[in-house]
A and B are shown apart, each in its own frame.
Chain A
């Protein structure tokens, strides 16, 4: 798919900042969750006969989950994203406008406290909510697919992941070790889990 003009992303960030000044951090969180859900729900549903067919669609960019980002499977259920789909916009914002407004981190902290501790900045609320809602639109062998984030590494190197007691079961389900996760986070933006329970 063609790349977006990063100016549109810069404008969107500023739109969100303006929105936050009107509705506050909780209100912005609600908007971000809502727009991500609306986006996923506006996209066509998917069905696959078998897990390997779904994995193939994921890696070739044919699935709703790989529409906006490159997905590389690490195991059958553990996926990695080499580059954040928001990286270009962030770099352009930093270059042309300056440091990100604090509200992007504040809303991420709000989300981490209220939903799950996985967002470094505002765009991760969109990303994780979108993936969760998108996964719910996929059926493999007649079963729904479930998404769970394992770790997020932002462009500036900040990493967010669940606390140890919640991380270990996730890693076990994903089929990777803690060391492998550390290796992936050196040069990947996200590590996540998809499964058909």
Chain B
């Protein structure tokens, strides 16, 4: 119920603080949640990926995350420095449907916040919740280390409940993944991101 009520809260907040104010609120909430979830350390990618699959990492708070272990990310020396991770279902999709079947329609406030984020921060949001959990993942990645290296998160692609897709050209280039490949992944997944060792010299790095 609280999830559906959130939509009303966002409407209210837009009236008082504007869509840009809601984006700031969501980003602060992402920071706050990440700061309250403790640090984690893994010996290597194998142990981290097992922990992800078993739902034991901080990233698992979002729901079921699949490590795409066939999609390693390598650095300029060809060493594995990260992997792709994907969620079959966006965290917010059940709420969209719950809102549809309780209120009757989704509020325009949802898209107003997503649009504001796309125009001013990163053109990747398909709903207002993307604003929060992109920031959350970025912050939580700093608290998770693999082989002694903290991680960095790159949100690569999203698919909204209406089928609309977004691919982050800059992040896809960063981890050296083909956009066509990303489109293929979006047929099976609704949210795809990369976790990479912080400071790794990526092939597409700037």
| The one of B12, B32, B97 that contacts A38, using a Cβ cutoff of 8 Å | B12
Q: Name the prevailing secondary structure of the B interface residues.
A: helix
Closest Cβ–Cβ distance, residue B46 to chain A (whole Å)? 24
Stretch in contact with the other chain, from B87-95, B152-160, B163-171: B87-95
Summarize A's interface: helix, strand, loop or mixed: helix
Please tell me if A110 contacts chain B, counting CB pairs below 8 Å: no
CB distance from A45 to the nearest CB of B (A): 12
Q: In the complex, which residue of chain A has the Cβ closest to the Cβ of B58?
A: A96
Contact A38 B2 (CB under 8 A): no
B29 & A11 in contact (Cβ 8 Å cutoff): yes
A67 interface contact, C-beta 8 A:
yes
- B6 partner residues in chain A, CB cutoff 8 A: 8, 11-12, 15
Q: A53 contacts the other chain (Cβ, under 8 Å)?
A: no
B5, CB-defined interface residue at 8 Å:
yes
The listed residue (B91, B97, B132) touching A2 by CB distance below 8 A is B97
Contacts of A11 in B (CB 8 A): 6, 29, 33, 129, 132-133
A89→B2 CA distance, assembly (Å) = 9
Q: Indicate if the CB atoms of A42 and B1 lie closer than 8 Å.
A: no
With A1-B98, A19-B25 known as contacts, the answer to whether A97 contacts B37 (CB < 8 A) is yes
How many chain A residues have a CB neighbour from B under 8 Å? 40
Residues of B39-77 contacting chain A, CB below 8 A? 58, 61-63
Q: Evaluate contact between A68 and B102: CB separation under 8 angstroms.
A: yes
Given A18-B28, A42-B103, verify A4-B8 contact (CB < 8 Å).
no
Interface check A169, CB cutoff 8 A: no
Known contacts A43-B103, A44-B104: does B2 contact A12 (CB below 8 Å)?
Answer: yes
CB distance from B21 to the nearest CB of A (A): 10
Cα of A98 to Cα of B8 in the assembled complex, Å: 26
CB contacts between A and B, total, < 8 Å: 117
Interfacial chain B residues near A14, Cβ < 8 Å: 29, 32-33
Contact partner, A126, options B5, B26, B63, Cβ 8 Å: B5
Q: Is the CB of A69 within 8 A of B9?
A: no
Nearest chain B residue, comparing its CB with the CB of A122:
B2
Which residues of chain B are near A75, meaning CB under 8 Å? none
User: Which residues A127-149 have CB closer than 8 A to chain B?
Assistant: 127, 130
Q: Is B11 an interface residue (CB 8 A)?
A: yes
**Alpha-carbon distance between A108 and B84 when the two chains are bound, in angstroms:** 43
Report yes or no: B8 in contact with A9, Cβ–Cβ below 8 A: no
From A7, A10, A68, B1 is in contact (CB under 8 Å) with: A68
Q: Is B206 an interface residue (CB 8 A)?
A: no
Give chain A nearest CB distance to B90 CB in angstroms: 8
Which are the 3 A-B pairs with shortest beta-carbon distances? A68-B1, A38-B8, A4-B3
Q: A15-B25, A123-B2, A130-B1 are in contact. List 6 more A-B contacts (CB 8 A).
A: A5-B92, A8-B129, A11-B6, A11-B133, A38-B8, A97-B33
Give chain A's interface residues, CB within 8 Å of chain B.
1-5, 7-15, 17-19, 31, 34-36, 38-39, 42-44, 67-69, 85-86, 89, 92, 96-98, 123, 126-127, 130
